Amino acid sequence: MEIKFVERRNKASAAIAIILDEKLELSSQANEIKKETGVDLKQLIKVHNYKATPNEFLLIPTGNDKIKNIILFGVGDLKKAKLPDLIKAGASLYRKLTSHSIKEAEAYSSIATPSLLNLLLGTLLGSYRFDKYKAVKKDDKKKVRLEKLNVISERSTKLNAELNGYKNFSESVALVKDLVAEPSNVKNPITLSKICTGLSKYGLKVEVLDEAKLKSLKMNALLGVGQGSTAPSRVVVIHWNGAKTSKKKIALIGKGVTFDSGGLSLKPAGSMVTMKGDMAGAATVIGMLRMLALRKAKVNVVGVVGLVENMPDGGAQRPGDIVKSMSGQTIEILNTDAEGRLVLADILWYAQSVYKPTVMVDIATLTGAVRICLGDEFAGLLSNNDSISEQLIKAGEDTNERVWRLPLDKKYDKMIDSNIADMQNIGTPDGSAGTSIAAQFLQRFVNKVPWAHLDIGVVSENKKSPDTGLAGPTAFGMRLLNKFIEDNYES
């Protein structure tokens, strides 16, 4: 949908939305509606006992040809409202206008600019749909969605410049959601790597490492995961250098299993249904680099995503195989469905050894065990660094993409020690401490670089988002990592 600030109202507009906080202050432009149409907004508010509580929506038909509908929409007490509250309000506004078949609307508001912009961000995020594969039905033609919202302001030029940043963010979130939602008969390591190369138009430098290059780098842990697929594996490296005078660099690492059948350790059919989304971590890294470039963030970031497909053909990796990772450490494969850690092992080692980052954060749909620990309220956070952990926890609280720190411990190391290799890729057969053991495995490949692991195995998709009300991919990590970088690492 399109949102923009304009200086003057379109006199032909049939729907006017008045966005109010609990103070019920009307903008000067809104007061002009009475002069033009005879509709007294103050009287309407009084007659309907309207309080502007959070997401309070009131549509009032006016009987006036010039303005057919007046909509009052409340955001409550802005002193108490946080970013997630404003995003929720904006998404609610979109749903309410759409439910009343309003295709175009104009809005007035006297609330503070930062709050208004975050509310409009919620409207943009709430308008997201992934329906390109739906056949058009007769009933669909009758549905009207909000397509255009003009916000009246005398400072329209300045506010539109600020709004562009919010639009860039919502578009990057939409890209992440699209990538996760795309079916795996369309999405594979090759097609996804081509999408990455297309990001170069935003000023990003993109490198694609093919299988020949990966073999020369001895990324055998990653390659072993993809050897049962007809789609060759890829690693994509995306660079954003927005602080050229700084030597500091952040590495964002993403697991990109474009479909995870479990390999020869085949998943049950019910567990396989959502596995087209096993590349949500990689999608988030891709979206983050796009967004950082568009907002010209003053920070240096390298994104590394490992793209593989885990399939069970005659050439697939077997339980009992031993592979030698890029680090030189050997891994006994006891379960081919514990594949994400094998992908991350090689790209974590590659990122820390080649790019010498100040800090590394990997994000991955790594374990189902994280659901047992945290349900769907938090992502798992495991780290070798207290400072980074505190920064991520705070960023999560500020953005409502919350993380909870789980333990790493030397005793978990003993659970992945192998009798015939340096380590094995799973711990105990009963799956005890599965999330911590997976991260303990990854820690062997970070080489003491300050590092955090985000396990988004549960929060990458949901039945209904608490912010936007949308089901499906969440793009979890976009707001979290953006805030983490903005608050702690941008110059």
DSSP 8-state secondary structure symbol assigned to residue 259: E
Residue 267 annotated as catalytic? yes
Question: Is 96 annotated in the active site?
Answer: no
What whole-number distance in Å separates Cα of residue 374 and Cα of residue 379?
7
Nearest CA to 293 out of 191, 169, 396 is that of: 169
Question: Contact 311/298 with Cβ under 8 angstroms?
Answer: no
C-alpha distances (whole Å) from 97 to each of 71, 432, 465 are 9, 48, 19
Phi and psi torsions of 145, nearest 5°: -110, 150
CA–CA gap between residue 124 and residue 113 (Å, rounded) = 16
265: left (phi over 0), alpha (psi -120 to 50) or beta: beta
Distance CA 116, CA 21 (A): 11
SS3 301: strand
Tally helices (H) and strands (E) across the chain.
16, 19
Task: Find the catalytic residue in 267, 371, 394, 405.
Answer: 267
* Burial (Cβ within 10 Å: 0-12, 13-18, ≥19) of residue 288: buried
Instruction: Report the alpha-carbon distance of residue 23 to residue 81 in Å, rounded.
Output: 14
Report the alpha-carbon distance of residue 460 to residue 277 in Å, rounded.
8
Catalytic residue among 249, 255, 341, 402: 341
What DSSP character marks residue 451?
E
The structure tokens listed for 298 are: 């003053």
Structural tokens at position 353: 């050894």
DSSP states along 56-68: -EEEEE---SS--
Q: What's the rounded Cα separation, in Å, for the pair 108 and 328?
A: 62
What's the rounded Cα separation, in Å, for the pair 67 and 64? 6
Identity of residue 366: L
Provide the pairing of β-strand 322-324 with 104-109. Answer: unpaired
Tell me which residues are annotated as active site.
Answer: 267, 341
